Structure 1
Amino acid sequence: MEHHEQPEPLSPVELAAMRRSLANGRLAMTRRSLLRASAATAVAVGGLGALSSCGIPPAGRTDAAGSTDHSSAEKRVNFSNWTEYMDVSDDGKHRPTLEAFTERTGIAVKYTEDINDNDEFFGKIQAQLAAGQDTGRDLIVLTDWMCARMISLGWIQSLDPANLPHAYTNLAPQFRNPGWDPGRAHSYPWQGIPAIIAYNKKATGGRKVDSISQLLEDPKLKGRVGFLSEMRDSVGLTLLDMGKKPEAVTADDFDAAIARIQKGVDSKQIRRFTGNDYTNDLDKGDIAACVAWAGDIVQLQHDNPDIAYAIPSSGYMTSTDNLMVPNKARHKQNAERLIDYFYEPKAAARLAAYINYACPVDGVREELAKIDKDAADNPLILPDAEMAARSHSFRALNAKESKEFTQKFSDLTGA
């Protein structure tokens, strides 16, 4: 079993902060933020259209079926993931779920934390994929909007259902049929990432904050409100509050939501747009209420009983990080076996207990309760049917829309 040596474990608040900052391409940026706000950098990339200027045909497809699978001869799988996104032993030296997989199957996992940003990672592998070459990776984890891009380019292999019996059976209904990958033909969720409302009860004087309308209009919150620098979450929640569906957002809907948030900026109701660096301000009470990522809030609540969250009655946003097999991967079947392993309740429970994001696997509650009863009872980690029904996702954007929407949001946030 190959793995990197791990640093000393961080405190829950430090870990929560680390897990997100990376997503926007900063070093306050250690993970979830990386994946969320990196969508903003898509303006520079310009969506699929920008690929043409790089000499990469926007719809250029390679013959994934032509690759040779060496899984039987080479009992290994090369797995690239984000940092702090896999369970680690208390001493920081082992990865229990991966090691258990190797013990059972004999398949060694070369696990590498080399994904710090969706666009940055895309830049690492696009030339190889465009040329029909092996990237050296059998399994990668990327955010839904980037997955949509790579699938549309024809750079991701279709998965074989015969190798995914647990995944097929245990995938939660909430995650089964995204518009960008109908029927999960090319992907399975690694974790769900709910965007909700969080508040510091001490900073709000004990008042509950549970709507975007409150964030944007309550004078008692003026100057102490945070919105996320991830377009899909901040705009998506605003759309829901306006009675619009992010799954079917039009250009006019988007403009109306931007105009509404702009009023909050102009009136100085909104303090700032953040990646996951809102966690420290929320913890201290400098931000009284904000749009937040659920996993951060679960972590913050461990140390601060004043941190609370609310699911707006209009609904909340959920995106996903997803497991995919790139074209020309040498060990596709081994990668599929590893995907399927993480859909077994025991392995999924170990992962959920460590990561604290929304688990996409049904039937995990009993196993998770053995590890952490509070986590098993937390709807942010194991959404019940009522909460799952209130989940919404931003629809896939074409290249032109992506560029235009992202530019408008960047103008709003000053990014």
Structure 2
Amino acid sequence: MHRTSPLSASVSRRSLLRALGGTAALGALAGCGVRGAYVQPGDRAVPDRSATDKRLIFSNWPLYIDTDDDDLSKRPTLDAFERKTGISVDYVEEINDNDEFFGKISPALMNHQSTGRDLIVISDWMCARYVRLGWVQRMDRAHQPNVAKYLDPLLRSPAFDPGRMFTLPWQSGITGIAYNRRRLGREIRGVKDLWAKDLKGRVTLLSGLDEAFALLMQGNGVDITRWKADDFHAVCDEVEREVRRGQIRRFTGNDYTKDLVSGDVLACQAYSGDVIQLQADNPDIRFVVPEEGAELWSDSLMIPDRASHKANAERLMDYYYDPEVAAELAAWVNYVCPVPAAREVLAAAKDKDTAALADNPLIFPDGTMRERLAIARDITSTERLEFSQRWNKIVGL
């Protein structure tokens, strides 16, 4: 196994809320829980064709699965699944933005029609909308023994999906702080360090509300699993103050990586998987899980309503929770592996670079780091419009 995933993979797959703008109507629909859009449990399934039709359609983000070094059209783990099960997988790299994809398939879902897909991968904050609207099907754990055994306990019960019966992490990550240790000349330990005088004008924050707010709340000592509206507004007050005094250079998407590499920025909100890739070229770039804690997030698998190959999709999900398979995928994408047992597999690898990944806490968080990680309560339907409007005004979207 070789770590060959380029930085552009991270740029593609992490979606950002650019603005309410063109997705305002969709956001209002999902956020406010329009009665006509909700699908009752009894209307979500169709007769499953898995037993007689050995195939499934799997939609994912670009560059979010292992590929062969010499032939990028080959996907070793997925190819092995097809050989092992006889199930043909139509793998489509069509998801570039959570909101955009929501708009693409929402007309079918709200009208009780098939999306033409059996399996999709969406960021958890957006998964919450699908779950609340009844647009995804409950999984049958009888088809998923590996999931039951190996899913990381930290990821088992987000507020929007207790027990993970409607969603299942594909890969996870940490939103923390990245900084250039050599150029800054000191360490960063906490969120409040971003407001230090020697960082004035050299700090960036993420522009997306769902990506940015949790870490900033943690800096205020908030338990993000049960935060309140007052906690959100306190963060906005703080960020507005730092904008006024010139502390924050700008708000970014994944292009924060360019600023960090160039030295225009010395510290920023960042994703763990991006930093692993940056460190390959610049070991002076560090990633810190602040003393106050950091957000653990996931991009998760879901089976949309009226998918016609549900059992096949469940079988594929369970396959990727086999520690051997999870290890191969983790070695390529370098995000937090949702299968802790994969660590032992990587540690035993003959290739030294691959074996070293087992000791990388940004792929397999150690005990100390795990104590600082939490899954944020998602923004509810009644909160989203108000909170988005305030945050986007600060960010300038």
1:271 aligns with 2:249: yes
1:62, 1:155 within 8 Å by CA — same for their partners in 2? no
Match 2:217 to one of 239, 251, 260: 239
- Bigger Cα displacement from structure 2, 275-284 vs 165-174: 275-284
Match 1:209 to one of 161, 179, 188: 188
Letter in 2 for 1:234: A
Match 1:76 to one of 55, 77, 86: 55
1:19 aligns with 2:1: no
1:153 and 1:112, CA in 2 relative to 1: closer, same or farther beyond 3 A?
same
Q: Helix, strand or coil for the counterpart of 2:36?
A: coil
Which aligned pairs between 1:214-233 and structure 2 lie closer than 5 A? Answer: 214-216=193-195, 218-233=196-211
- Bigger Cα displacement from structure 2, 140-149 vs 54-63: 54-63
2:38, 2:135 within 8 Å by CA — same for their partners in 1? no
Aligned to 1:149: 129
1:199, 1:307 within 8 Å by CA — same for their partners in 2? yes
1:135, 1:328 within 8 Å by CA — same for their partners in 2? yes
2:31, 2:380 within 8 Å by CA — same for their partners in 1? no
Match 1:391 to one of 365, 373, 390: 373
Gaps of 5+ in 1: 1-8, 22-29
Aligned to 1:291: 269
Aligned to 1:6: none
1:329 aligns with 2:307: yes
**TM value normalised by structure 2:** 0.93
1:114 and 1:272, CA in 2 relative to 1: closer, same or farther beyond 3 A?
same
User: CA shift at 1:19, angstroms?
Assistant: 2.8
User: CA shift at 1:210, angstroms?
Assistant: 2.1
1:60 and 1:105, CA in 2 relative to 1: closer, same or farther beyond 3 A?
closer
Letter in 1 for 2:116: G
Provide the rounded CA distance (Å) in 1 between the counterparts of 2:10 and 2:21: 18
Aligned to 1:135: 115
Provide the rounded CA distance (Å) in 2 between the counterparts of 1:238 and 1:406: 16
1:48, 1:149 within 8 Å by CA — same for their partners in 2? no
Structure 1 residues 130-173: Cα deviation after superposition (integer angstroms, max 9, x where no partner): 22222111100011121111111111010001000001110001
1:313 aligns with 2:291: yes
1:364 aligns with 2:342: yes
1:161, 1:168 within 8 Å by CA — same for their partners in 2? yes
Aligned to 2:396: 414
Gaps of 5+ in 2: none
Aligned residues: percent identity? 43
Q: Helix, strand or coil for the counterpart of 2:38?
A: coil
CA RMSD of the aligned region, Å?
Answer: 2.2
1:88 aligns with 2:78: no
Letter in 2 for 1:404: E
1:52 and 1:379, CA in 2 relative to 1: closer, same or farther beyond 3 A?
closer
Provide the rounded CA distance (Å) in 2 between the counterparts of 1:363 and 1:70: 33
User: CA shift at 1:66, angstroms?
Assistant: 4.4
1:348 aligns with 2:326: yes
Structure 1 residues 334-389: Cα deviation after superposition (integer angstroms, max 9, x where no partner): 00000000000111011111111111112111222315122111111111233222
